[in-house]
Chains A and B, each alone.
Chain A
Amino acid sequence: QKEVEQDPGPLSVPEGAIVSLNCTYSNSAFQYFMWYRQYSRKGPELLMYTYSSGNKEDGRFTAQVDKSSKYISLFIRDSQPSDSATYLCAMSASGTYKYIFGTGTRLKVLA
């Protein structure tokens, strides 16, 4: 079993839809959680980071962490064609200097 699991997709949604992207993990020591967006042939760019449990909102993006279920989510409201990309979750335990990435979910937002 991988430490971080993520559905590879592709996930296709119509423009304006609410998108839910998810990751599960097995290591209960993970405390730092991040979401990256990667466009084709580009480097990943950081969207959101959270520490421990709870929600964090930034514009159209909301990140949720449920440590009891070892489950994190990224919600995208009012999705746009420009949101079409691969979304990667990443997580780390305190003091390890190392983030473990999920394999990414490919999202297509159809105009």
Chain B
Amino acid sequence: DTAVSQTPKYLVTQMGNDKSIKCEQNLGHDTMYWYKQDSKKFLKIMFSYNNKELIINETVPNRFSPKSPDKAHLNLHINSLELGDSAVYFCASSNRQGNYGYTFGSGTRLTVV
């Protein structure tokens, strides 16, 4: 029944490791996003895909690589994790331009130690 689901919910890992976060939506939306929320609650867009095509790629280190196998799935792989990558990562989906709002997942809390 969940509209946008992310796994895992929590991720604790050591510096230098590689990790992945998965996202799936069952709303029939054609656009998906990754947002990063820092400790001050600031939500910043990282990437957006429309029908498997990358349409937004903000200034994000290339250690972060998104992948969209189909329009219902958007994954995020992070290489060589750093302490500063600790944050909550939210997946979201919407219609093409998001004019009717985004539906967010419940977030993945990443802690790098």
Are A43 and B90 in contact (CB-based, < 8 A)? yes
Interface size on B, residues (CB 8 A): 28
> Is the C-beta of A101 less than 8 angstroms from some C-beta in chain B?
yes
Are B43 and A44 in contact (CB-based, < 8 A)? yes
Are A49 and B41 in contact (CB-based, < 8 A)? no
Interface size on A, residues (CB 8 A): 26
The complex places the Cα of A34 from the Cα of B97 at a distance, in Å, of 13
The complex places the Cα of A88 from the Cα of B40 at a distance, in Å, of 12
> Is the C-beta of B55 less than 8 angstroms from some C-beta in chain A?
yes
Beyond A97-B48, A101-B42, is A92–B98 a contact (Cβ under 8 Å)? yes
> Is the C-beta of B64 less than 8 angstroms from some C-beta in chain A?
no
Q: Known pairs A32-B98, A41-B109; list 12 more (Cβ under 8 Å).
A: A8-B40, A36-B104, A86-B41, A92-B98, A94-B97, A96-B97, A99-B98, A101-B35, A101-B44, A103-B40, A103-B42, A104-B42
